Amino acid sequence: MSINRAFAATAACILASVPAAAQDINAEPNYGVVNLRAGFEPDPQVVAVRSGGEINAQSVSNSCRGFISSSPDVRLVYTSGTYPLIISVRADADTTLVVNGPDGSWSCDDDGGENGNNPAVRFNRPASGRYEIWVGTYGNASLQPAQLHISEVSSQ
């Protein structure tokens, strides 16, 4: 076997063992794009969404929970300043949150927000750029009404 063929076979095996995330960070967001600069008003910005989808969020990371869609629910284009950035959800259903930050890292939460079943992700020193946001439903793929809150002062 030639070196090139051996390399190709090894590379194919390595790539096959890496789990592929089903999330498409470049897909058109389900509920639109929000453009904000530090110090935005009103705070919080609220976007009505439906949580959930057919994909288990653990496909992104073992620390993620719930079911989400392949497309982000909301794309936040944010210009940072001196404030933290807090992304949270308010819903009657048990919801989760998955965020892909400008640096490509994933942040997830299940019940870290207010009122028990609401998630929140806080970036103390947020980077400027795109934040792809998924609002999940915990435990099953059903779609549930929810509000996505984007704030610099509070998680609800």
- Contacts of residue 150, defined as CB under 8 A and 6 or more positions apart, other chains included, come to 34, 36, 44, 45, 46, 47, 76, 85, 86, 87
Q: The CATH number of the domain where 72 resides is what? A: 2.60.120.380
Nearest CA among 74, 56, 70, 55 for reference residue 121: 74
Whether 16 is covered by a domain: the verdict is: no
3-state SS, residue 17: helix
Region 62-75 average pLDDT: 96
CA 132 – CA 103 distance, rounded (Å): 11
Indicate the number of domains in the chain: 1
Whether 88 is covered by a domain: the verdict is: yes
Whether 5 is covered by a domain: the verdict is: no
Residues above pLDDT 90, as percent of the chain: 76
Q: What angle do CA 84, 52, 70 make, to 5 degrees?
A: 85
pLDDT in tens, 136-145: 999 887 899 9
Backbone phi, psi, residue 56, to 5°: -70, 125
pLDDT in tens, 89-120: 999 999 999 999 999 999 999 988 877 779 99
Whether 14 is covered by a domain: the verdict is: no
Greater model confidence, 141 or 150: 150
Whether 90 is covered by a domain: the verdict is: yes
Whether 15 is covered by a domain: the verdict is: no
Whether 12 is covered by a domain: the verdict is: no
Q: Which domain, by its residues, includes 34?
A: 21-151
The pTM for the full model equals: 0.84
